[in-house]
Structure 1
């Protein structure tokens, strides 16, 4: 019998002991992330990929591979399928195909965080949670605030001091309680953890619950369908907590088990900033886990995560895919953002720009083939980040006066 969801259990990512998917869950008894398991054999018998493709192009078209068992509990703000846009005019090495940008800025609240929070808030409400809390560099908090408001739940957000003002205002405007914290994202996470017993909130920190990763997984599912089930050769992904990267690798494993796609799978590239690159350091040293990064700093706040709970899962996905990890400087990120904006009209987030900078570096370093089909993830709208001030003025009483330079027509 066809089911709405084929989820059967939650499983520890290390010990593989199983947990009841019908109950609200956090970490495993070992303190490790839980991952949802599905009855893929039954799903393979009962559902065809062509049926998925005929549905409206949104996140919930993938409901068989999501943990929510009843559509009545869906909390939605219109999670659209995000486009693939070729960087046809931005610089690239001679003979290389234009890389494609998967532009997640089109989602509710302007970032990919909507995917994870749509599923997580739906699951939390279905399992009886009334209060939600999250540590956030901005975008996750904005998404949680929006979906919590939609669901009628209380929301509490803890943000590093230098979180962009527009993110803080967005969170507050949607009804969440929000605090600046004199520390980094890991310090904010400790505050959420310490307040759980006292305030009774459900902790939505990255990978401390098993639902956000299932929402993020839809990036990988969607990319497969958009490419006619022929995935790209290489995917560059801005990596902080790594939920999206881990989720996509999980998605492709599930699609492979269903027989909907075939190897080879994309090589995954984890992109970090030189000011906060624990995954790059661990990957390059051959380690299976990352050590915390000291004095983390970068303009790409979304990837400024000194220690990721899912570090071992990120590193495993990189190695299993034949991929690698790469760090780029803030100056390269700024230059990439300007190039893509000027040449292709896409206003990338700093994290998205980091993937383009990493693509250029990888291509120049011989880590890509000219024939590779490459996808870069832009995870948020550039409108949510500081931009250059505009200082030029014109006097209506003396328009185009001396000293004002305009290009000639056709130049």
Structure 2
């Protein structure tokens, strides 16, 4: 298989980093983004090649992914997740039948879209020769990491706030992850993992602390475009915590447009947060480039309880570039 990655790039300074090596964040502490030789890719791979692919789930988009050897792909039987039209909801809201669509990511292994990001991150960990991965999580990222890492033969350590739903911690342990509860929020879990990098030899797959979860999450955007015959919705509402999904989808749309595989208006991206933890919404309303730490974060939607996101500026950038917005809703 051909890998079209050209380099990695600091999301702030544009500084380039060599592909095929172990990276976390840039020297300035900002997320790294994977860049591709889209000119070469477009000359060798067509949209029809993607449509005719027999690869399972998100691996059908391998030309736009960074794994260079097929033996390093770690799969748990991913599928193309369905689009479900909420006709009754659309009628109730008076917006026209069929105009509200949900992408049902619960069909993926471990029951959530986290399988995309962690499946890709674990595959790259295998390719780069890593052995022990660690992650802080409020919810189902831990189980996705543990499941894919177990399939790959890698060790995992998962740190969760002590009020993480028990169903999430139980699933993570069942999938083989060493799981610990921390008296604090996800930030405190992240600090412990940062210490463990030097002391224990963990490799962090925390949100945006490595370059590849975004690449897995962007397959939501590619898949959505293919399902809609290379068109896109007018608006995309995305539940937002750390933001890799929203950032990844926006990256996918930009790459597809540059390839010439789409010729349609870009969707407006909408970040949806709980009003009990809405730092992105506050930053959006204030016109800020970065979000302030959200004190006393509390929401039943534990997976998006992120008081401070490393990629806050990337989320806000996507909202502004797309003409979108951020909104807080009650639990």
TM normalised by structure 1 equals: 0.79
CA apart distance, 1:215: 0.3
Structure 1 match to 2:284: 283
TM normalised by structure 2 equals: 0.97
Mapping of residues 224-235 of structure 1, within 5 Å = 224-235=225-236
Structure 2 match to 1:19: 17
Mapping of residues 144-155 of structure 1, within 5 Å = 144-155=145-156
Q: In structure 2, how many angstroms separate the alpha carbons of the residues matched to 1:114 and 1:85?
A: 20
Structure 2 match to 1:42: 40
**Conserved in 1, the CA contact under 8 Å of 2:5 and 2:66?**
yes
Mapping of residues 118-267 of structure 1, within 5 Å = 118-267=119-268
Q: In structure 1, how many angstroms separate the alpha carbons of the residues matched to 2:95 and 2:44?
A: 44
State the secondary structure of the residue aligned to 1:216.
helix
Structure 1 runs of 4+ with >6 Å offset: none
Structure 2 match to 1:29: 27
Q: In structure 2, how many angstroms separate the alpha carbons of the residues matched to 1:282 and 1:199?
A: 36
Structure 2 unmatched runs, 5+? none
Q: In structure 2, how many angstroms separate the alpha carbons of the residues matched to 1:297 and 1:138?
A: 14
Q: Deviations over 1:58-102 (max 9, x none)?
A: 111111110111111111101211100011223632243441000
Q: In structure 2, how many angstroms separate the alpha carbons of the residues matched to 1:43 and 1:175?
A: 38
More contact order relative to length (CA 8 Å, sep ≥ 6): 1
Q: In structure 2, how many angstroms separate the alpha carbons of the residues matched to 1:305 and 1:97?
A: 35
**For the pair shown, which has the larger CA radius of gyration, 1 or 2?**
1
**Conserved in 2, the CA contact under 8 Å of 1:283 and 1:325?**
yes
Mapping of residues 276-315 of structure 1, within 5 Å = 276-315=277-316
**Conserved in 1, the CA contact under 8 Å of 2:232 and 2:264?**
no
Q: In structure 2, how many angstroms separate the alpha carbons of the residues matched to 1:171 and 1:230?
A: 37
Instruction: Report the RMSD for the aligned CA atoms in angstroms.
Output: 1.0
Q: In structure 1, how many angstroms separate the alpha carbons of the residues matched to 2:300 and 2:92?
A: 24
**Conserved in 1, the CA contact under 8 Å of 2:119 and 2:216?**
yes
State the secondary structure of the residue aligned to 1:89.
helix
User: Structure 2 vs 1, CA of residues 95 and 137 (structure 1 numbering), >3 Å: closer, same or farther?
Assistant: closer
**Conserved in 1, the CA contact under 8 Å of 2:231 and 2:264?**
no
**Conserved in 2, the CA contact under 8 Å of 1:7 and 1:64?**
no
Q: In structure 2, how many angstroms separate the alpha carbons of the residues matched to 1:89 and 1:163?
A: 33
Structure 1 match to 2:66: 67
Q: In structure 1, how many angstroms separate the alpha carbons of the residues matched to 2:18 and 2:111?
A: 33
Q: Deviations over 1:329-355 (max 9, x none)?
A: 11xxxxxxxxxxxxxxxxxxxxxxxxx
Q: In structure 1, how many angstroms separate the alpha carbons of the residues matched to 2:275 and 2:157?
A: 31
**Conserved in 2, the CA contact under 8 Å of 1:135 and 1:141?**
yes
**Conserved in 2, the CA contact under 8 Å of 1:59 and 1:81?**
yes
Structure 1 match to 2:7: 9
**Conserved in 1, the CA contact under 8 Å of 2:161 and 2:185?**
yes
CA apart distance, 1:171: 0.8
CA apart distance, 1:119: 0.6
- Residues paired across the two proteins, number: 328
Structure 1 unmatched runs, 5+? 331-411
Structure 2 match to 1:81: 80
Q: In structure 2, how many angstroms separate the alpha carbons of the residues matched to 1:67 and 1:246?
A: 17
Q: Deviations over 1:24-82 (max 9, x none)?
A: 11000000000000000011111110110111351111111101111111111012111
Mapping of residues 99-118 of structure 1, within 5 Å = 99-118=100-119
CA apart distance, 1:121: 0.4
CA apart distance, 1:4: 2.5
**Conserved in 2, the CA contact under 8 Å of 1:207 and 1:243?**
yes
CA apart distance, 1:262: 1.9
